[in-house]
Amino acid sequence: MTKSHILGLGRGELEALVVSLGQPAFRARQIQNWVFRNLETDFRKMSNLPKDLVDGLESHACVATLKVNARQDSQDGTTKWVFETHDGHLFETVLIPTEDRRSVCVSSQIGCAMGCTFCRTATMGFLRNLTLGEILEQVHFVSRHLKSLEPSPDLSPDQVSNSTRVSNVIFMGMGEPLLNLENVASACETLNSADGFGVAKDKITVSTSGVAPKILEWAARAPDFKLAISLNGSNNAVRSELMPINRRYPIEMLMETADEYIRLTGQKLTFEYILIRGKTSTLEAARELKHIASHRHCKINLIPLNRGNPDMEAPSEEEIAAFERVLAQGDFQVLRRRPRGPDIYAACGQLATEQKKVA
């Protein structure tokens, strides 16, 4: 019998489980406290639960299902874990710490079907969706890792408490999150919930390759969280070459959808734009991108290409600066994302486990 993943159960579902084990419903709150507040994974250590309930939970439920297959630490403090699921699949999660943030880049699928040509994950193909429990377990695992770190002696108690909590979650790991929409939306709710991880709504970002109908579904289902669209091409010829999804939903249709998303949610949309030398980083591309973003409630994140693709390279610093000068004439915000963890293939577009499946 498959065990219920506690992280993936809402309060009502957990109460139903507890009642089915012959216990009063209020025990559900105690279990959630242990799991989300104390980050406990061992039912036997949940000291205020009666033994019968602990025995029942051990037989019918679980908190930690993922095994660490590999871990790599980058020189810049970024850490990447390769997790192995109960059915032998591998996928990756990345912790990106900065002075004031602890961001977790989570995966939503094992592999990806979208086939973007700059992306290592695409080479794996699509294997399966991650479950709600598996998505949340990535954040739970990283939270436990942060809690286990020795705090700096210079920090005040408040700073220590903050430095051990995940502050931002980005669905930019493996997979197209909007093709696992219900699990990702439910995960965002638990990430944000005060009974869950307590991450602020505007610190939770879902990044899509541009599956237009799913963007509108997302706007209806989860309008409060941040959405980013990986644009990466400033015209249809280039974007279709980099991202096959563009043949189905070309830029004009995607922008109509983007406008509808902004209208429905009132959110500022982020466009992610990878700078690839000679392809997306020309001045002509900068002018086209400026035209796309102008008069839209949006910002642009520029991401110089990371290594990992033998056929493409990042532009020089001068080329990027010239590109930015063109965009600076627009009426929208432009940020340049510093690559994190490129030496361990943890940066954007670099996630891909070497094995498709453990034998």
Chain residues binding ligand SF4 by CB under 6 A are: 112, 114-116, 119, 121-122, 174-176, 209, 349
Question: Rounded to an integer, what distance in angstroms lies between the CA atom of residue 168 and that of residue 17?
Answer: 31
Give kind and range of the element (H or E) at residue 70: strand 67-73
Question: Rounded to an integer, what distance in angstroms lies between the CA atom of residue 303 and that of residue 232?
Answer: 9
> Which residues does residue 304 pair with via DSSP β-bridges, in sequence order?
275
Give kind and range of the element (H or E) at residue 144: helix 132-148
Burial 68-88 (b: 16+ CB within 10 A, else e): ebeebebebebbbbbbbbeee
Least distance from ligand SF4 to the Cβ atom of residue 348, Å = 8
Considering the complex, state which of residue 15 and residue 176 has its C-beta at the smaller distance from ligand SF4.
176
Least distance from ligand SF4 to the Cβ atom of residue 243, Å = 6
Alpha carbon distance, N-terminus to C-terminus of the chain = 23
Q: At what angle do helices 132-148 and 181-192 cross, to 10 degrees?
A: 40
Least distance from ligand SF4 to the Cβ atom of residue 166, Å = 21
Query: Of 17, 12, 32, nearest to 197 (Cα)?
Result: 32
Least distance from ligand SF4 to the Cβ atom of residue 170, Å = 12
Q: Is 348 a catalytic residue?
A: yes
User: Which residue among the candidates 62, 105, 112, 348 is catalytic per the annotation?
Assistant: 348
Considering the complex, state which of residue 175 and residue 339 has its C-beta at the smaller distance from ligand SF4.
175
Considering the complex, state which of residue 40 and residue 176 has its C-beta at the smaller distance from ligand SF4.
176
Q: What is the DSSP string of 242-293?
A: H-THHHHS-HHHHHHHHHHHHHHH-PPEEEEEEE-TTTT-SHHHHHHHHHHH
Considering the complex, state which of residue 114 and residue 255 has its C-beta at the smaller distance from ligand SF4.
114
Question: Rounded to an integer, what distance in angstroms lies between the CA atom of residue 129 and that of residue 108?
Answer: 7
Q: SS3 breakdown of the chain: % helix, strand, coil, rounded to 5?
A: 40, 20, 40
Task: Provide the 8-state DSSP code for 121.
Answer: G
Considering the complex, state which of residue 196 and residue 210 has its C-beta at the smaller distance from ligand SF4.
210
Considering the complex, state which of residue 209 and residue 353 has its C-beta at the smaller distance from ligand SF4.
209
Q: Check if the beta carbon of residue 167 is closer than 8 Å to that of residue 136.
A: no
Least distance from ligand SF4 to the Cβ atom of residue 115, Å = 6
Least distance from ligand SF4 to the Cβ atom of residue 45, Å = 37
User: Which residue among the candidates 92, 134, 272, 288 is catalytic per the annotation?
Assistant: 92
Measured in whole angstroms, how far is the alpha carbon of residue 201 from the centre of its chain? 13
Considering the complex, state which of residue 106 and residue 116 has its C-beta at the smaller distance from ligand SF4.
116
Least distance from ligand SF4 to the Cβ atom of residue 61, Å = 31
Question: Rounded to an integer, what distance in angstroms lies between the CA atom of residue 130 and that of residue 108?
Answer: 6
Considering the complex, state which of residue 174 and residue 334 has its C-beta at the smaller distance from ligand SF4.
174
Neighbours of 15 (CB within 10 A): 19
At residue 104, what is the residue type? Answer: V
Least distance from ligand SF4 to the Cβ atom of residue 176, Å = 4
Q: Torsion over CA of 349, 240, 337 and 318, rounded to 10 degrees?
A: 120
Helix, strand or coil for residue 247?
A: helix
Which residue is listed with tokens 């902004």? Answer: 262
Q: Is 92 a catalytic residue?
A: yes
Active site residues: 92, 348
